[in-house]
């Protein structure tokens, strides 16, 4: 958003009382993109990035955060102490391979907007750890396999075995 302020400046000669005035208009435009952040990681593995922000004010400053991408995990807000540098960390946790672009915005009522373009790349995941079974003929063996669901919604999983001699219960 464009903010415009007009002021009158008067220059006066105190001895002769002559004066001259000017109308000065100040225009404040929204900030541009501060930088572009490139991140690459395999799917289901988080990559972190740290942004350093300086607070020149004598009071603590609060920032709120927003991103146009759902694969970006960030706190809703954070603070930076007065006259010091604060670190803001966010994570990129992709669930599908491919390239995406988006924007990260940090906003403060005191310091304005800090915008970053995001160029993100998710590579296919490598093979997961194998599960090995070793048992005698005619006996059974059970093993528990644990895995994490990173989706934000409910997901149904299925398990398949390709050999007719093996069964899943």
pLDDT for the residue numbered 141: 80
Domain segments of the chain: what residues? 31-123
Place of tokens 């903010």: 3
Integer Rg of the chain from CA = 29
pLDDT for the residue numbered 78: 94
Structure confidence by residue, pLDDT tens digits, 117-159: 999 999 998 887 777 778 888 787 887 877 777 777 788 888 7
Mapped onto helix, strand or coil, the DSSP state of residue 166 is: coil
Contacts 24+ apart (CB under 8 A), 62-67: 62/108, 62/109, 63/88, 63/106, 63/107, 63/108, 63/111, 63/114, 64/106, 64/107, 64/108, 65/90, 65/104, 65/105, 65/106, 65/107, 66/104, 66/105, 66/107, 67/102, 67/103, 67/104, 67/105, 67/118
Indicate the CATH number for domain 31-123: 2.60.40.10
pLDDT for the residue numbered 147: 75
Reported in sequence order, the residue ranges of 13-70 that DSSP labels E, i.e. its strands, are 19-28, 33-42, 47-55, 61-67
For residue 72, give the nearest of 54, 96, 90 by alpha carbon. 90
Structure confidence by residue, pLDDT tens digits, 8-57: 999 999 999 999 999 999 988 878 899 999 999 999 999 999 999 999 99
Question: pTM surpassing 0.85?
Answer: no
DSSP state of 104: E
Please indicate whether residue 105 or residue 156 has the higher confidence score (pLDDT). 105
The token duo for 29 is: 């435009």
């Amino acid at each position: 958003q464009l903010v415009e302020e007009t002021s009158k400046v008067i220059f006066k000669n105190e001895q002769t009382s002559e004066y001259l005035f000017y109308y000065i208009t100040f225009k404040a435009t929204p900030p541009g993109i501060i930088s572009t952040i490139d991140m690459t990681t395999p799917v289901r593995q988080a990559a972190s990035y740290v942004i350093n922000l300086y607070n020149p004010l004598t009071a603590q400053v609060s920032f709120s955060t927003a991103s146009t991408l759902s694969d970006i995990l960030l706190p809703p807000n954070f603070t930076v102490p007065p006259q010091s540098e604060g670190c803001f960390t966010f994570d990129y946790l992709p669930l599908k391979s491919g390239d995406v672009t988006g924007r990260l915005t940090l906003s403060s009522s005191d310091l304005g907007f800090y915008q970053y373009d995001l160029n993100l790349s998710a590579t296919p995941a490598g093979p997961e750890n194998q599960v090995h079974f070793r048992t005698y003929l005619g006996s059974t063996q059970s093993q528990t396999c644990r895995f994490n669901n990173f989706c934000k919604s409910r997901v149904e999983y299925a398990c398949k075995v390709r050999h007719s001699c093996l069964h899943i219960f």
